[in-house]
Structure 1
Amino acid sequence: MTVMSRADPPAYYAPLLAPAGAGGTALDAQTLAVLARVERFTVHQRVTSAEVATCGCCEQPNSYAIIDAASATPIMVAEERSGDIERCCCAPNHSLMLDVFAIGPYGTRTAQVMTIERAGCSRKPGLCCPACGPCCADRATVHAGRVEGWAGEVGTQRALLVVQQSAVCDACLHPTVSVMERAGGRFERYASVSGPCCFGGCSELCFDVPFVAHDGRAAIAKLHPRSLSAALRELVSDSDAYEVALRDPSWTAQQRAGLLSAALLLDYMFFERNGDAIKCEDGARKCNCCNVYLCGCVLPCKCDCSCQRGGSGGGGERRAGGRR
């Protein structure tokens, strides 16, 4: 009699025992089968010891676990591929590729099923400016299988999906991204996801940040920490958690892949800021209550949270008076 030490994997893992296809103009059947069976995803950013030890100053490539929330089973993992110099100097606005791998039975990683390309500030100098045109708007391009080359130079000739930051005229006070899929020789929008005007900073330790599709058929939420240890981990690193909820079962598997890609792009756009809650500036501790989105720019609302008695200038005057 054979005794298994662990529970059998869900039925939809069966196709992943064979390697997935690499490249092409469509996701392979194995990946489509997995995505079609999941209605709610959670995305957990993994913690790196180097970032924790340096309080986020030593920027490391990100890694995300994509989980079927209903069964708490990992189904994919996304791993960042980026240049060390640009990542350390320009993060979170750096160029990168996210390699998405399928996860098979018992957590074993199988073939790469998608590549998410994001051109950073080295390719788009106006990335931190208001999104007035293509050179200023953030974007993620989703390809099937593994794609080689520099981020921003691959192009969209064989791309499946595009997640594009909306222009200022369409989203002045609310961060918005459009999710588009290939339809013939062009990309057509099938979802537009918008978030609140105020988010981030200390507020994200207490409240979820919802990004909701305009038609209400789906939602992406940046989840607030559920425990003290998770809150401390988020303060000293960029470790975040997201939920992608599909409220309409008619979403195709490829459209679900686009929403997952949108969640990953939103993380880089708005939640990868080191010291976003508390930061030392000019010798004082600054508390960022929240960030305000205005015409594509993210403006922090900061206050002085240091507990020093009197300023340094005042102390100098009192000492001088005492000597007199």
Structure 2
Amino acid sequence: MAAVHNTQPQYGTTNNSPSNQGTWMDMPPSVPGCPAGLEYLTQLDQVLVHQQVELFEAMTDFETKNRYVIKNSLGQQCYFAKEESSLFQRLCCGSERGFEVKVTDNNGQEVIRMRRRFKCCAGCCWCANSDTCAFFLEVESPTGTFIGGVRQSQSCWYPMYEVMDASQKSVFNIEGPCCPISGPCCTCDFDFVVSTTDDSATPVGKITKQYSGFVKEAFTNATNFSVTFPMDLDVKMKAVLLGASLLIDFMYFEENQDNDS
């Protein structure tokens, strides 16, 4: 079991860290072949992704940059993620905007970078057989080193994704529910099942959008996800599945407040 400590990270609370500090997961020892900073994931078979509530966005409906606290199953923080995107695209393109997400560890060091480039014709699952019409999330660790990606797949109705490794070989498929639209009165969780790419399509993990409570669902776009995967899964693929949860969040849950109203 991971140890608990309450020490504040050295970089304080003024830039990349959340304003409300909790308990922190101790940095595991370095692992041969593991990108620096991903050692946390070697000890985990589940991560919790909690989007922070942006009060200005909730009060004004003005789209701000997303921020996420990433924790283990004990609630200990191991990462913090912050979106970087242009104001113009946030205002004019909404959830379809291009973005980068910088993931930092508890020492404020960037360990993962995720990128989705803007595509004016992307998003529709019916047309996702074309790269021009399919969203693709790139995952790098360290920055500049591509370790995998998540590509939207063509489907008639169900959300579907293809998870790729560093050589862009398909490793997993992700299939979501037929109607992934949440709201204050829809108290269920939404499961996106991660399965192998062979004919058996064996489930190996799950990305779950969790119900956040009436107030949070009704008045904010902030979401909670859990991501489960095998403990012995390649740590780079764990990072890619973490990226998949953010891609799903942007594509299906970023504008729920607008849809509800």
Aligning the two structures, in what range does the TM-score lie when normalised by the shorter sequence?
0.7 to 0.9
TM-score normalized by the length of structure 1: 0.66
**1:136: which partner in 2?**
133
Over aligned residues, Cα RMSD in angstroms?
A: 2.4
**1:175: which partner in 2?**
159
Paired residues in the alignment total: 233
Q: Residue 231 of structure 1: which of 214, 217, 221 is its match?
A: 214
- CA deviations 1:268-304 (Å, max 9, x no partner) are 011101435522xxxxxxxxxxxxxxxxxxxxxxxxx
Aligned counterparts, 1:236-255, within 5 A = 236-246=219-229, 248-255=230-237
- Distance in 2 between residues matched to 1:203 and 1:188, nearest whole Å: 39
TM-score normalized by the length of structure 2: 0.82
1:127 alignment partner, SS class: coil
1:255 alignment partner, SS class: helix
- Distance in 2 between residues matched to 1:58 and 1:143, nearest whole Å: 29
- Distance in 1 between residues matched to 2:104 and 2:253, nearest whole Å: 23
- CA deviations 1:167-192 (Å, max 9, x no partner) are 2xxx222101111111xxx3111111
CA contact (8 A) 2:25 2:77 kept: no
Larger Rg over CA atoms: 1
- Amino acid across the alignment from 2:128: A
CA contact (8 A) 2:172 2:194 kept: yes
**2:147: which partner in 1?**
160
- Amino acid across the alignment from 1:212: V
Question: Deviation at 1:53?
Answer: 1.0
**1:126: which partner in 2?**
121
Aligned counterparts, 1:218-297, within 5 A = 218-225=205-212, 230-246=213-229, 248-279=230-261
| Alpha-carbon distance change, 37 to 204 in structure 1, aligned in 2, over 3 angstroms | farther
1:13 alignment partner, SS class: coil
Deviates more, 1:127-136 or 1:260-269: 127-136
Question: Deviation at 1:204?
Answer: 7.2
- Distance in 2 between residues matched to 1:201 and 1:143, nearest whole Å: 30
Aligned counterparts, 1:71-150, within 5 A = 71-103=74-106, 109-120=107-118, 124-129=119-124, 130-146=127-143
**2:198: which partner in 1?**
none
Q: Percent identity?
A: 25
- Amino acid across the alignment from 1:196: P
Unaligned runs of 5+ in 2: 9-22, 196-201
Unaligned runs of 5+ in 1: 17-25, 104-108, 148-157, 280-324
Question: Deviation at 1:252?
Answer: 1.3
